[in-house]
Structure 1
Amino acid sequence: MPELPGKQVYLTRASSFLCSEVERARKLIETACKGYKIKKVSTVEDKLVYTGGITHHEFAKELEGRTITGCERKGKNFWITLTGSGRLPMAHFGMTGMIQFKGQEPTWYRRRPKESTDVWPPKFHKFVMHLEPQKGSVSDEARELAFADPRRFGRLRLVPSPVEDHPPISALGFDPILSYPSLEEFKTLLLKKKATVKGVIMDQSFSAGVGNWVADEILYQARIHPACPVQELTEDQIGELHKQIRAVPEKAVEVNADSMRFPEDWLFRWRWDKGKKQPGGAKVKNEDGEFVGMLEQLKPKDKDFLALPNGKPATIEFIEVAGRTSAVVTELQKMPAGVDIKPKVTKGSKGGKKSRRGKADSDSVGRCQARQDCSQKG
């Protein structure tokens, strides 16, 4: 099978999907499958992944014989549009979900040694669509599309059209790429909340598609502490937050969610080793224990640390906010004066330095320099 349309890139796995990663999958499906007829759907029983009261047999039966007209997305959910009056297939990747075409690399996947794309159907697959070209389809060759999910946190469902009128899409907030509110609308929505700013922007009913690391990136670029209560934000901070909630996902979409092309001054490029001295070829995992990538590929070449505006190394502190491990650059992301929120201690912290207590709405752990050697004690 020839290369599918679009550049095939290898992606690092971040801690959770964001709209840019799902947007990449959406584009791939639309580009490679539009005009194809679903000849057959082979499914595997999984009562966790198939949700909404459907069985895997019902999922297959409702799709077979219909033609793909496109693929759409909101937040972290995407759905394939089809001819006919039946329901539409919708997917959510969860932590480890992925799509894969036969003979091609999966979407969110970095192949380890001895693994091969020649194995088909892929391990942990939930369905395989057998696609038949039609007059007007994007190619005249048969194709096979699989959805796989090793850890089974992904979801597959059938949703009536228009999907925007039905859960889960009807319950989502604005999409930073597709339906961004004005500053005044954003401010009104934000100030209705009474939680930490990170907790709010990760709430899918507020902003659909913002995952853990991208929330940290937004707040770092906006120079806002993730544990700051939204009611304590200044007018300038609200304006900068409004700007960055759009700018960060837009940049990720622009580079096709290829993390090796993220800007060198993004916190993303420096957060993964948590200050531990280790070789550049070391494997890096996120807080969920999932493989993210090789350290030497995540960090920019010829740079040893995330630099502050004055050129000195930034200090990255790891705390827990809204139930998630959060990276904070302490010199630039400060809590407002007078805000005193008691921290907790995260069990099993992998911080490169001794934990220290600080002001956050939960755990404060692993203060470290963003240098590779992390030699200075905190």
Structure 2
Amino acid sequence: MPELPEITNFKSFLTETVLDKEIIEVEFPETKLLQASTTDFKKALLNNKFTGAQQLGKYLFLRTNKKKSLVFHFGMTGKFEVYQHNETPKHTHLLIRFRDSSHLAFVCVRKLGKIYLADGLEEFRKEQGLGKHALDLEEDEFQEIVQEKKGGVKSALTDQHFISGIGNVYADEILFQSEVHPKTRVEKLSEKEIKRLFDQMHEVLNTAIKKEGERSEFPSNYLSRSRKEGADCPKCSGKISMIKVSGRSTYFCPKCQKEKS
């Protein structure tokens, strides 16, 4: 599933390819993902232009010059295609044609994404009950969020109502780099461990953004390069283990990430 770093790269891609172009046609080959009527989408988009792109965790916003924003959640397989030819890509849910003959398609094979209209990022955040964008959090805000939570630390990191943008893969990486066991209860974290989690959250997410989400290009000491049960730990002589945490497959090194009693 695309997480914060991947969405950041989608944002950069759209900023370079679709801004300030007049929208002349909007089509919906499939409507399952739409969170408003096709009439509302056309009213908001036709004869309009995208003026900027914003991000809130796993959500991408395309602002228009008519105040409304087009908002995407990518589910497991959502992605964009920008092209000049007239053949619509398979599994397209939204197709936008521009005056310059280019096209923007939102493709989602497994149909788990969503497409919204919103008045703005902050309004949408409040309506959906989402936390702040992970990389916008200050250390004191992060500490307060973690200390307010109950239960396991991985669940705290991946709860989009508290922190927007961290999913399964990057939560595992942040915990691995922080040397915190994924089953550790939040109330057992020391202030030092919370600070380390905050620092590694920024380090891991920014590294993934710079590497454009290509895990094979991540630093050699990153778990994400060999996220597989039984693989060699990239930091010690141990082996990677897999357990279920809140129903999610979770990878860690038992030697590097000691479980607290």
Q: Fold conserved (TM > 0.5)?
A: yes
Q: 1:173 offset after TM fit, Å?
A: 1.4
Q: 1:167 offset after TM fit, Å?
A: 4.5
**Where do residues 175-324 of structure 1 align in structure 2 (5 Å cutoff)?**
175-177=133-135, 179-182=136-139, 184-272=140-228, 274-275=229-230, 305-309=232-236, 312=237, 314-324=238-248
Residue deviations 1:63-102, cap 9 Å, x none? 11001111111100011111124x2211000111111112
- TM-score of the superposed pair, with normalisation by structure 1: 0.65
Q: 1:223 offset after TM fit, Å?
A: 0.3
Cα 1:147–1:317 change in 2 (3 A) is: same
Q: 1:19 offset after TM fit, Å?
A: 0.7
In 1, Cα distance between the equivalents of 2:69 and 2:234? 47
Counterpart of 1:79 in structure 2: which amino acid? F
Q: 1:181 offset after TM fit, Å?
A: 1.4
Is contact 2:130–2:164 with CA below 8 Å preserved after alignment?
A: yes
Matched, 1:325 2:249: yes
Which residue does the alignment assign to 2:40? 58
Cα 1:58–1:174 change in 2 (3 A) is: closer
Counterpart of 2:97 in structure 1: which amino acid? H
Percent identity of equivalent pairs:
27
Matched, 1:121 2:88: yes
Counterpart of 1:92 in structure 2: which amino acid? H
- CA root-mean-square deviation: 1.9
Gaps of 5+ in 1: 1-15, 104-117, 134-141, 276-303, 338-378
Which residue does the alignment assign to 1:43? 28
Counterpart of 2:122 in structure 1: which amino acid? E
Which residue does the alignment assign to 2:260? 336
In 2, Cα distance between the equivalents of 1:307 and 1:269? 9
Is contact 2:24–2:46 with CA below 8 Å preserved after alignment?
A: yes
Which residue does the alignment assign to 1:83? 65
Is contact 2:80–2:106 with CA below 8 Å preserved after alignment?
A: yes
Q: Which structure is larger by alpha-carbon Rg, 1 or 2? A: 1
Q: 1:233 offset after TM fit, Å?
A: 0.8
Equivalent of 2:7, from 9, 22, 35? 22
Q: 1:119 offset after TM fit, Å?
A: 8.7
In 2, Cα distance between the equivalents of 1:166 and 1:97? 20
Gaps of 5+ in 2: none
Bigger fraction of residues in helix: 2
Q: 1:55 offset after TM fit, Å?
A: 2.3
Counterpart of 1:165 in structure 2: which amino acid? E
Is contact 1:20–1:249 with CA below 8 Å preserved after alignment?
A: yes
Cα 1:81–1:249 change in 2 (3 A) is: same
Is contact 2:176–2:253 with CA below 8 Å preserved after alignment?
A: yes
Any idea what SS the aligned residue of 1:333 has?
Answer: coil
In 2, Cα distance between the equivalents of 1:307 and 1:268? 10
Matched, 1:92 2:84: no
Cα 1:307–1:20 change in 2 (3 A) is: closer
Residue deviations 1:261-295, cap 9 Å, x none? 211211111114x34xxxxxxxxxxxxxxxxxxxx
In 1, Cα distance between the equivalents of 2:77 and 2:220? 26
